[in-house]
A and B are shown apart, each in its own frame.
Chain A
Amino acid sequence: MELFALYGLNFIYGIATLGLIVLGLAVVFGLLGVMNMAHGEFVMLGAYSVLIVQGQGLPYFLSFPLAVLICGFVGYLVEWSMIRHLYTRPFDTLLATWGIAILIRKTVEVIFGRGYQSVNQTVTGTVDILGVDYPAYRLVVFVCAVTLLVGLFIWYRRSNTGARIKAMIANPELAQAMGINTARLARGTFVFGVCMAGLAGALIAPLVRVEPYMGLDYLLSSFFILVVGGLGTLEGLFIGSSVIGGVDVAVSAFFDKTSGYLAVLVISILFLWLRPEGLYARR
């Protein structure tokens, strides 16, 4: 029973963190259609902001505003200098953001070095849930992830800005004619997306290995989750995270880590091939 509860908790936690990491790409790729190959690098920037904060002896929670600040600044710069010229050239966006990814990765390597960095966990200890001693920090991450996802879901459905974004996606010219400043809205959306990626990075930093190349794994699994789930909706994001996370956990538990990874790849290929609109399509 306890083992069962532990698996259950790990499963739910796994989905929540996946959803958290994908959120930024869901906004940038799912809404704007920008294949942001530097998504993982923004997650990485968020993780390094924890390192900066702790290096200065400041409290952990200050890394969240710092992550948003750094990612917001870099994201703004990237959008302004490159992405805005490329919204209609998907392949070039892919290449340009790949270049940005290398640039960010290498710059971080210059500043912090190639090696792994350890991030201190500030919320330590365990909490008793259903008879299981569960790490308290994982609960924090879980609560933050759910709050963020649900909050964003409600905001996107109810707010004026959400409606404007939907209008811009459906028909940019018409949206412009209706007085929506699509250039600014697109930039705002992009910057928001990469800030979310940074925030996710700051949240998961104490639980993962922090190094300049960490973004690569997050990038690819994020793309696969979006493809499996379907673009442009939070429902799709949730379903995609469940499928990819669930398959990974289940296959890894039965066989080994490599098989889990292969199973995720195979499922992603099947979806890309047979059902590219995903399980929960916008239309």
Chain B
Amino acid sequence: MRAVSILAILGLLVVPFVGDSFMAYQLGLYLLFGIVGQGIALCWGRAGFLPLGQALFFGIGAYISGYALKTYGDSYVALIPFMLLAILIPGILAGIIGALVFSRSVGSGPYFSLITLAVSMVGFQLANSLEWLTGGFNGLTRIPGLPGIDTYETLYFVIVPALALSTLLVAYILRSPFGQLLAAISQNEERAQFFGFKTSSLKALAFGISAAIAGFAGALYAPHQGIVTPQAVGFLLSAELVIWTAVGGRSTLWGPVVGAVVIGFLASELRDIFQYWEIVVALVFIGVVLKFPDGIVGAIASVTTRLRRPVSTADGNRRKQTAPPREQVSETALVFEDIFVQVGPVKILDGLTFSLDEKNITCLIGPNGAGKTSVFNAMTGKLPIRAGNIQWGGTSVTGKQGFEMTRLGIGRKFQVPSVFNDLTISQNIDIAIWSNRLRFTDLFLTSPYSWTSGILKQVEDVFPFLKVSNKKAGDLSQGQRQMLEFAMTIMTEPALLLLDEPCAGLSTAETHEMIGAIEAFNAGGDMTTVIIEHDMQVVERLADKVLVMSQGRLLAEGSVADIKADPAVQAVYGGGTK
């Protein structure tokens, strides 16, 4: 990939000598759009959310740069701070928008896209009406070129290095732990939160970076075109940027550039010979969306990787360095005080009260609908609590979100196996190792890839299949995915481990394996474990204590023998009336 990128950049540098300078001038514009597309691809192809108003950030960069060139056009000393602003202001604006929007809801539905679209329309309207600032409808005109650089002859040799810079930046981000976390978020955001990552901030950061890249391209667009009009922030350009990215390939580095250049030249060629060229472009676009969702470059890339022999990425020995220690959590006491949870007219938890304060295994049982999973959900911010108080280690944690609970030493395994399907086993394990360890600066360093931790060895001994590190998690069997998720949760070294039916969907042999694993990791006596379970065989093997729930309340607690002898429990399970 790196070789391809270097060749592409070199090839682009030769263009003006092979073709004519007008062609290079045209190409320069498409390359600028391609740079914006690379930012869109970072958000859309990697992090899984589609920004629909990217022209706004491009246009802000262009307006700032245009203003600076018109005012201080002859001195780089005065220009450079403005050029930095042309990058920073869009980046910060997008970061704020992202942080506000993403923190409201998990997931990447169409609403974020519609918001960015609407914001870009506001920008268009303001650019049109704030005449004193933007020149209104006619825009900023007669913008001079960069000092000492001829717009038609040499500006191209500024644009190509700019593209190289943007490519380098995006490539670096994609390979960094931050990039891997973005991939994890796009596959299963909730799971990523339960490894202690504040996913809304990571997504906002990605959006901010993409907007900064757009602003950077916009800063060069102003001298290139000599004019900036409200069209540069408008809805139509935003849509076109997304189209170019989609046609070229939303999840590749060069796809957006190829898309912008191919459609750009296709349009300029067709425009002269065929009046209705846009129909052709629309048909090409529809065809790509339907038949090649990964775009032109994506389709080519998948063919070449299929032709090549599968490379064994023997990265098992990349983990050489002991990971930095986590903050030790020594809490043991979990207290539920009179918790009420209600959704609509249904009382889910109805004054639930219990407490746990020993480092052993507690099983939570009860008939279907008793509210067992809701106990976990209430504890990890997934269900709103109407009344009552949850305490962990003596402090109230009522209403805290999933990632905050993980940071307080609470690990959770979901009922349905949730792992990052498109990441390899080894990449899944990375994320578990990074959990509660990765600091902000580590997001952009390569050193976290070399981290290992003592518990990894233990986990691999218990689950040998984890050593086949380059297999995709999505290709594992249901049982193995359950075990992978369990292993990942264990690797966060929680003080309180919540397991929701860990043996669901497992074969008898796998169930025994899982029970053995749970026993093994609890043998050290440094963890409180709560297991929701229906299978009494599992309960009898594992439980030091049993809590029985019915209709959102605690019905009984005690040892397995106590519970079995309890007439109230017998009544609930025996089908008798309460």
Contacts and interface: CB of A to CB of B under 8 A. Distances in A.
Most buried by B among A92, A103, A107: A103
Contacts of A268: 118
Contacts of B573: none
B313 interface: no
7 contacts: A82-B286, A86-B290, A95-B242, A103-B279, A220-B235, A273-B100, A273-B111
A53 to B, nearest CB: 25
Contact of B122 (A91, A100, A266): A266
Interface in A92-109: 92, 94-96, 98-100, 102-103, 106-107, 109
A95 B118 contact: no
Contacts of A227: 111, 114
A272 B114 contact: yes
Given A94-B113, A95-B246, A265-B118, A276 B125 contact: no
B243 A98 contact: yes
B239 A98 contact: yes
B556 interface: no
Contact of B285 (A86, A99, A107, A265): A99
A237 B117 CA distance: 21
Given A262-B125, A273-B115, A96 B286 contact: yes
Contacts of A91: 44, 50, 110, 113
A274 B104 contact: yes
Contacts of B117: 220
A244 interface: no
A272 B115 contact: yes
A76 to B, nearest CB: 16
A7 B121 CA distance: 28
Interface string A132-159: 0000000000000000000000000000
Contact of B289 (A92, A107, A269, A276): A92
Contact of A276 (B111, B243, B281, B285): B111
Given A98-B243, A103-B283, A106-B279, A82 B290 contact: yes
Contacts of B114: 223, 227, 272
Contacts of B286: 82, 96, 99-100, 103
Given A98-B243, A103-B283, A258-B129, A269 B290 contact: no
A90 interface: yes
B110 A94 contact: yes
Nearest to A92: B289
Interface residues on A, range: 35 or more
A33 to B, nearest CB: 9
A262 B122 CA distance: 6
A157 B278 CA distance: 43
B398 to A, nearest CB: 23
A85 B122 contact: no
B118 A269 contact: yes
Contacts, number: 92
Given A90-B110, A99-B289, A273 B119 contact: no
Contacts of A265: 118, 121-122, 125
A190 interface: no
Contact of B290 (A85, A110, A261, A273): A85
A33 B393 CA distance: 45
B278 A102 contact: yes
A106 B290 contact: no
Interface string A107-133: 101100000000000000000000000
Contacts of B122: 262, 265-266, 269
B101 interface: yes
Contacts of A224: 118
A259 to B, nearest CB: 9
Interface string B256-284: 00000000000000000001101101110
B276 A106 contact: yes
Nearest to A283: B344
A261 B235 CA distance: 15
Nearest to A103: B282
A210 interface: no
Nearest to A224: B118
A197 interface: no
B125 A261 contact: yes
A35 interface: yes
B293 A92 contact: yes
A105 to B, nearest CB: 8
Shortest 9 CB-CB contacts between residues of A and residues of B:
A99-B286, A102-B282, A103-B282, A99-B285, A106-B279, A106-B278, A272-B115, A96-B289, A95-B289
Contacts of A262: 122, 125-126
A150 B563 CA distance: 59
B305 interface: no
B441 interface: no
Contacts of B126: 262
A274 B103 CA distance: 10
B477 interface: no
B43 to A, nearest CB: 12
Contacts of A274: 104
B105 interface: yes
A275 B283 CA distance: 36
B289 A220 contact: no
B240 to A, nearest CB: 10
Contacts of A107: 279
Interface in A249-278: 258, 261-262, 265-266, 268-269, 272-274, 276
Interface string B15-56: 000000000000000000000000000001000001000000
A224 B114 CA distance: 9
Contact of B282 (A89, A106, A223, A269): A106
Contacts of A216: 235
Given A96-B289, A99-B289, A272 B282 contact: no
Nearest to B44: A91
B322 to A, nearest CB: 42
Contacts of B110: 35, 90-91, 94
Contacts of A223: 114
A131 to B, nearest CB: 37
Interface string A203-223: 000000000000010001001
Contacts of A272: 111, 114-115, 118
Contacts of B278: 102, 106
Interface in B195-248: 235, 239, 242-243, 246
Contacts of B243: 95, 98-99
Contacts of B121: 220, 265
A266 B128 CA distance: 17
Nearest to A275: B104
Contacts of B235: 216, 220
A99 B105 contact: no
A224 B281 CA distance: 28
B108 to A, nearest CB: 9
A109 B126 CA distance: 29
A138 to B, nearest CB: 28
Contact of B125 (A94, A110, A258): A258
A109 B275 CA distance: 11
A41 to B, nearest CB: 11
A98 to B, nearest CB: 6
Most buried by A among B104, B117, B281, B289: B289
Interface string B486-525: 0000000000000000000000000000000000000000
